[in-house]
A = this chain, B = another copy of it.
Amino acid sequence: MGSTLGRIFRVTTYGESHGEALGCVIENCPAGLALTVDDIQPDLDRRRPGQSRITTPRDEPDRARILSGTFEDKTIGAPIAIAVFNENAREKDYSDIKEIFRPSHADYTYHARYGHRAWRGGGRSSARATIGIVAAGAIAKKILREKAGVEIVGYVSQIKNLKFEGDIDLSQIRALRETIEANPVRVPDSALADKMVRLIQDTRQAGDSLGGVVECAAVGVPAGWGDPVFDRLDALIAQAMLAIPATKGIEIGSGFAAAELTGREHNDIFEMQNGKVTTRTNHSGGIQGGISNGMPVTFRVAFKPTATISHEQPSVNERGENVTLKVKGRHDPCVLPRAVPIVEAMLALVLVDQFLLSQTARYENLSI
Establish whether residues A264 and B68, one from each chain, have CB atoms under 8 Å apart when the complex forms.
no
Q: Which residues of B contact A117 (CB under 8 A)?
A: 31, 71, 76
A55 adjacent to chain B (CB < 8 Å) = no
Q: Which residues of B contact A12 (CB under 8 A)?
A: 4, 12, 25, 27, 79
Please report the C-alpha to C-alpha distance between residue A291 and residue B111 in the assembled complex, in whole angstroms: 10
Establish whether residues B210 and A230, one from each chain, have CB atoms under 8 Å apart when the complex forms.
no
Q: Which residues of B contact A265 (CB under 8 A)?
A: 305
Q: Which residues of B contact A259 (CB under 8 A)?
A: 158-160, 211-213, 248, 302-304
A3 adjacent to chain B (CB < 8 Å) = yes
Q: 0/1 per residue, A1-15, Cβ < 8 Å to B?
A: 111110110101111
Counted per complex, copies of this chain come to 4
Count of chain A residues with Cβ under 8 Å from any Cβ of B?
172
Q: Please, which residue of chain B has its CB at the minimum distance from the CB of A80? A: B14
A205 adjacent to chain B (CB < 8 Å) = no
Binds B, one of A41-49, A180-188, A352-360: A352-360
A92 adjacent to chain B (CB < 8 Å) = no
Establish whether residues A114 and B20, one from each chain, have CB atoms under 8 Å apart when the complex forms.
no
Please report the C-alpha to C-alpha distance between residue A229 and residue B128 in the assembled complex, in whole angstroms: 12
Q: Which of B4, B33, B235, B237 interacts with A230 by CB under 8 Å? A: B4
A243 adjacent to chain B (CB < 8 Å) = yes
Q: Which residues of B contact A107 (CB under 8 A)?
A: 289
Establish whether residues A25 and B14, one from each chain, have CB atoms under 8 Å apart when the complex forms.
yes
CB distance from A309 to the nearest CB of B (A): 4
CB distance from A202 to the nearest CB of B (A): 11
Please report the C-alpha to C-alpha distance between residue A81 and residue B132 in the assembled complex, in whole angstroms: 12
A227 adjacent to chain B (CB < 8 Å) = yes
Q: Which residues of B contact A75 (CB under 8 A)?
A: 116, 363
Listed by A's residue number, 5 A-B pairs whose Cβ atoms lie within 8 Å are A2-B226, A21-B81, A213-B256, A259-B304, A275-B320
